[in-house]
Amino acid sequence: MDKAVSLVNQSDRGNTVTLVETNSKPNSLELVSSYHTNRVGDPMDLVALAEHVQKGDEFIRANACNRLTVIADQIRYLQEQARKVLEDAKRDADLHHAACNVVKKPGNMYYLYTRESGQRYFSILSPKEWGPSCPHEFLGAYKLQHDMSWTPIEDVEKRDAEISVIDKLLNSQSSALPSSTGPNFGGLSN
């Protein structure tokens, strides 16, 4: 027999506490005094129990809402990061398609200009090196990174610092990384 208790003036919200079924002699053996375990006590005890369950429900809901808010913030952050990755990839592709009469080498700075015809091209000469006789409009300076991405001159110092930190970390962990003196084809012949 199920016993259910509802909070006064709360029945419209569905806050009902179901009590455990009673069995005075499970497996024909009386374990505890059924008088002490099954008696209907003070009705205020049941109300307190129902209030405790309701408070638990409220805490669970608040906790779930807080955790979902954190996840929503993370989603917004990841969307912003994805947008930035796509913008950088488009910029890098555009810069790789700019005309250039020299072989571009990672680690070097290149200067982007535009001709009157609208053609964009890279030069190894900066506007400062051209001086007042700079023949075309200067658009910007970029460093070609070793991963073939381009870093605008205003971000080069920051990017170099990040790469330096990563290099230091990798060098300090070199004992944890396996050493490689050449290709390992041992697994192919065994």
Both structure tokens of 73: 């913030």
**pLDDT (tens digit per residue) in 117-135:** 999 999 999 999 988 888 8
Average pLDDT over residues 88-103: 94
Query: Residue 27 phi/psi, 5° resolution?
Result: 55, 35
Instruction: Quote the pLDDT of residue 180.
Output: 63
Residue, of 48 and 89, whose pLDDT is higher: 89
Q: How confident is the model at residue 1 (pLDDT cuts 50, 70, 90)?
A: very low
What global pTM score does this model have?
0.57
Rounded Cα–Cα distance for residues 19 and 43 (Å): 13
Residues composing the chain: 190
Contact of 183 with 125, CB cutoff 8 Å:
no
Our CA angle for 98, 143, 100, nearest 5°, is 25
Residue 37, classed as helix, strand or coil, is helix
Non-local (6+) Cβ contacts of 31 within 8 A are none
